[in-house]
Amino acid sequence: MPINETLSQYSDYSYTTATAIYVLALMFALIEQGFGAKGRMAAERSKQKARELVGAGGPSVTAGTQVEPPREIGRPERIGRMGAALLVLAALLHLAAIVLRGFAVHRAPWGNMYEYGMATTFIAVLTWIVILRKFPVRHLTGFLLTPVVILMFINGTMLYTTAAPVQPALQSYWLIIHVSAAIIGSGVFLVPGVASVLYLFRAAHDDNPAKFPKFGPKLPTADVLDRIAYRTTIFAFPVFTFGVLCGAVWAEAAWGRFWGWDPKETVAFVAWVIYAAYLHSRATAGWRGKRAAIINVVGFSATVFNLFFVNLVTSGLHSYAGG
């Protein structure tokens, strides 16, 4: 079927608009991060007081008894909430760009590097939105959006590819199965990577308050960051594993071998080993804290390296390496 140029153009418009709104949401998040520390500390004191009263036999907040008057929301927090709303709006436009691209090319919209990067960054943002509903870490949104915006800018400029059919080797149902699993795994892995980096800053400050005296106290507790990193990795790892296995099966069908040490295959396998070591060390050796965070950061680096550098510098059998 011919390419629908109109839908392709609308997809490009949606992608560009989403990127611009992500930048705006990033600015709002950084304002809350930089100036909303007092409000977050007041909220934490309020929650701690409520827990102490309940523990001492006082009235439960969940029973409908208000412990203290509602705390006034400061301007940085209001800006942070606006940033979160913009994040959701941008994610919807991001999703629209992916869907429109799919309808334009009449296939799964991840047949080249541009489409792959577009889908992966969307999964990262979607994962963060889910995290925001589980943990009070909205003020950290800027740290997640910074790599996302950078990757989207590179993807939309250096790696942009006009809508077109894929090469014959990719015209298979494995494009949906294998690549979608790789996209979900890689996108989710961006979140624990950022969480682990922030964990190292927070842990360093907790060990020595003289380190990062202004930045460290603004971060959530090390335990919260550790739980975010671990839970998201637990979800992403089996999906990524499924993607690697499906890739081997597809390679055998398309190229006559399960493994050929293609650059993208090799780095993906290295990343898989790193994340397997992270989960194994936590489960068996009890490696938590800094050592586990360092392993996760190395895995995060391998994922980003495979996502963009391998495709920009090297060439191989994967179509993404050629753009």
Confidence of residue 159 (pLDDT cuts 50, 70, 90): confident
**pLDDT at position 101, please?**
96
Q: What mean pLDDT is predicted for residues 191-206?
A: 94
- The whole-chain average pLDDT of the chain stands at 85
**pLDDT score of 66 more than 70:** no
Name the residue with tokens 């990719």. 170
Start-to-end CA span in the chain (Å):
22
Name the residue with tokens 């842990």. 203
| Top-confidence residue, 256 or 99 | 99
Tens digit of each residue's pLDDT (9 = 90 or more) over 79-106: 999 999 999 999 999 999 999 999 999 9
Indicate the residue type of 99: V
Q: Do residues 141 and 84 touch, judged by C-beta distance below 8 A? A: yes
- Assigned token pair, 178: 């294998």
- Whole-angstrom Cα distance, residue 236 to residue 115? 20
Q: Do residues 317 and 230 touch, judged by C-beta distance below 8 A? A: no
Q: What mean pLDDT is predicted for residues 153-176?
A: 84
pTM of the entire predicted model? 0.85
H-run or E-run covering 65 = none
Indicate the residue type of 176: I
- Whole-angstrom Cα distance, residue 289 to residue 274? 16
Residue 311 CA neighbour count, 13 Å, CB half: 24
Range with the poorest average pLDDT among 35-39, 123-127, 185-189, 262-266: 35-39
Q: Write the burial class of residue 231 (CB in 10 Å: 0-12 exposed, 13-18 middle, 19+ buried).
A: middle
Tens digit of each residue's pLDDT (9 = 90 or more) over 265-318: 888 899 999 999 999 888 876 777 888 999 999 999 998 888 777 766 655 555
**pLDDT score of 320 more than 60:** no
Q: Do residues 145 and 22 touch, judged by C-beta distance below 8 A? A: yes
Q: Do residues 188 and 232 touch, judged by C-beta distance below 8 A? A: yes
**pLDDT at position 218, please?**
87
